[in-house]
Amino acid sequence: MIYIYMVVLVGIVVGVLCFYALRSIAKNQNEEIDTQRQKRYALHKQAVTELDQMLARAEIQQEHYEEELEQLNRRLVDEMDSSHAKLVPATRTQTKPKFVLVILVIPVLVAALYVVLGQPVIDPARDLRETGDVKQFLDQIQSLEQKVAADPTNLQQQLMLARSYRVMGRYADSIIAYGKSWDIIQDNASELALFAEVLALERGGFEGKPDELLAQAQSLDPSNLDVLMLVGQSALQKGNYALAIESLQPVQNALEEEGEDTQWLQLQLEAARNALAN
C-alpha cells in the first residue's frame, strides 16, 4: 500500500510542476496506428494457428514447421517496423522558465520511485513483436517467471506470462496463467478470445470451454477481429459454413482496407461457400 501512496505522491508533485512549467502537453496521435498493428497481429495469429494445426495433423514436418514459423515471425516484425515508421510525432510544447526546475526534479523523483518499486516489468510477447529478438524474449520470460513466483497475486504479470507462453507454443502453461489472471480478462473480448484459442490448440478443437469463452467474448464486443476470426475457425471446424462466412468476411474486409494479404482467408471463404453450395 505504501508503494501506491508513493506513486500517487510523485504523480501529484510532477503534475503540479508541469502545470506551472508547461504551457501545453503533447497529445498522442498514434491510436490509428495501434489499431492497424492489432489487425496485423490478428492475421499473424491466424497464420500461426493454421500452421500449428497442420503440424498436429502431420501435414508438415517439424523442420518445415519451424522454418515457416520463423518466416511468419520475421514477417510480423517487418510489418510492425513499417507501422512504427508511420507514427505521428507529438506536437512540440512551449515552456516557461520553471521548465528547468522540472528537468531537475522529475529525474530525481523517477529515480527514487525506481529504487523503491524496482525495474518495470516488460511484456515479453509485446516486446518480441516490436523487436523480433528471440534471445531477449527468452531472457524476459525467465525474468517474468521469477517475478510471478515472487508475487503470484500480480494478475497483470500472470497475463503477460500467459501471452508469452502462448507465443512459445506452451499452451498448457498458458492456460494455467490465463486462468490465474481471470479477474482482469473476463471483461476483455480480445484476451478471452486468446484464452479460447490456446484451449482449442491444447485440446485439438473448440468444442466446450473454448466455444463458451468465444461466446462470452462476442457478447462483449461482437465486432472484435480476434473474436470473429476464432468464431469463424470454430465454425469451419464444425462444418457450420454459413456462420464461418458470416464471421470471417468482416475480418477479410477489415484487413483488405489496411492493404494486407488476405489470400489465405479468401481460400477459406471460398471453401466454405463451395461446401455450403454443395
Average pLDDT over residues 5-26: 57
The pLDDT of residue 265 is 86
Instruction: Return the DSSP state at 95.
Output: B
Q: What pLDDT does residue 13 have? A: 59
- pLDDT tens readout for residues 77-95: 666 566 555 544 544 444 4
> Domain extents for the chain?
1-83, 124-277
pLDDT, residue 115, reads 46
**Burial group, residue 2, by CB count within 10 angstroms (0-12, 13-18, 19+):** exposed
Say which residue, 107 or 241, is predicted with more confidence: 241
Q: Which amino acid is at 263?
A: Q
Please provide the average confidence, as pLDDT, over all residues in the chain. 77
Q: Which three cell numbers stand for residue 88?
A: 505521428
CB atoms near residue 276 (< 10 Å): 13
Contact 198, 230 (CB under 8 A): no
Candidate ranges 37-41, 123-127, 266-270, 274-278; pick with highest mean pLDDT: 266-270
Side chain identity at residue 166, one-letter code: R
Grid cell of 176 as nine digits: 494455467
pLDDT given at position 116: 43
Percent over 70 (pLDDT), the chain? 67
Phi and psi angles of residue 249, each rounded to the nearest 5 degrees, phi first: -60, -45
Please name which of 187, 137, 132 lies closest in space to residue 160, comparing C-alpha atoms.
137
Three-state DSSP class for residue 228: helix
Question: Is CATH 1.10.287.1080 the right assignment for the domain spanning 124-277?
Answer: no
Mean pLDDT value across residues 172-181: 93
Q: What integer pLDDT is reported at residue 209 of this predicted model?
A: 94
Q: In the chain, what's the furthest Cα-to-Cα distance?
A: 76
pLDDT for residue 8: 60
DSSP letter string over 103-168? Answer: HHHHHHHHHHHHHHH-SPPP-HHHHHHHH--HHHHHHHHHHHHHHHHH-TT-HHHHHHHHHHHHHH
pTM above 0.75, yes or no: no
Residue 14: pLDDT band with limits 50, 70, 90:
low
